[in-house]
Amino acid sequence: MSDTALEAVLRRDRAVVIVALAVITALAWADLIWLADDMAMGGMDMAGYRMIPAGRGLMMPADAPWQPIEFGYVFVMWAVMMIGMMMPAAAPMILIYARVGRQAAVQGKPFAGSAWFAGGYLLAWTAFSLVATSAQWALERAALLTPMMESASNRLGGAVLILAGVYQWAPLKDACLSRCRSPLLFIQQHGGFRREPPGALTLGFRHGIYCIGCCWALMALLFVGGVMNLFWIATLAILVLFEKVVPFGRVVARAAGLVFIAGGVWLMLQNS
């Protein structure tokens, strides 16, 4: 295959992957908007009740224990939210995987499809969603979240903000962020591209784990601003994207950390 033909194929594949990622992200955000609108209930007074993110106006008494179906709905909400927030930041890694995979296929040495890699990445965030759902359940049981999934305590909100701010400066954060910012280096350090689907799935999952190590504290901030606060969700998603793709991503991360610490101190002082 000539260089011109190869470039044409690579551009086509890149366009296909970009469209697929954009559609997945758009569908996730559409679902979040639908759920947020449903939970708002037109501004109705929901005192004494908590909303269930099902898109069908479901609610429960605020002091009633969670049922398995409610846990399932909240888990799905978190999983969809993670897809909407994290797919844009993962796009550079997935695009590089797809590009190199196509080049290898042309040379007669194909890798497993990029969908396997992306699937492993999303599997890691799905596991995180299960942990986040359990954390939400525990916080609600301790009366630390409002029925609308926002922090009910300035002390809790302030502590989470300070924790997130400090973590933005932590060596572990920096180590995980460096792997997210250097896709090819990450792949080379973890055995290279994989020919078999299980290997590609595992590689994607491992990348997802590093991404969780980079962003878990930012995701915890959803409990402060509101798990279904679309503005807060979008702000954190943009911050994650900037940290990973702009040349000064580390500066962005640390500057955000200072803002979080200042906000946490201010919130803690509201109780004094």
pLDDT surpassing 90 at residue 130: yes
Q: Which residue has the higher pLDDT, 84 or 39?
A: 84
- In terms of C-beta distances under 8 Å and separation of at least 24 residues, what long-range contacts does 126-133 make, across chains too? 126/79, 126/82, 128/78, 128/82, 128/212, 128/216, 128/219, 129/75, 129/78, 129/79, 129/81, 129/82, 130/75, 130/78, 132/78, 132/219, 133/71, 133/74, 133/75, 133/78
pLDDT surpassing 80 at residue 101: no
Residue 8 CB coordination number (10 Å): 12
pLDDT surpassing 90 at residue 225: no
Q: How far is CA 269 from the centre of its chain?
A: 30
pLDDT at 47: 64
Q: Which residue has the higher pLDDT, 235 or 10?
A: 235
* DSSP 8-state symbol, 221: T
Enumerate residues 6+ apart whose C-beta is below 8 A from 71: 133, 137
Q: What is the mean pLDDT of residues 103-126?
A: 81
pLDDT surpassing 80 at residue 103: no
pLDDT at 12: 63
Q: What is the mean pLDDT of residues 26-32?
A: 90
pLDDT at 83: 93
Q: Which residue has the higher pLDDT, 169 or 18?
A: 169
For 135-161, write each residue's pLDDT tens digit. Answer: 999 998 888 887 778 888 888 899 999
Mean pLDDT score of the chain, rounded to an integer?
Answer: 84
Distance CA 235, CA 225 (A): 11
pLDDT surpassing 70 at residue 201: yes
pLDDT surpassing 80 at residue 1: no
Distance CA 89, CA 182 (A): 12
Q: Which amino acid is at 163?
A: L
For 83-99, write each residue's pLDDT tens digit. Answer: 999 998 888 888 888 77
Q: Which of 100-114, 120-134, 170-184 has the lowest mean pLDDT?
A: 100-114
Domain ranges of the chain: 3-269
Distance CA 51, CA 147 (A): 6
pLDDT at 6: 46
- % of the chain residues with pLDDT over 70: 88
Q: If pLDDT is split at 50, 70 and 90, which confidence band does 179 have? A: confident
pLDDT at 8: 55
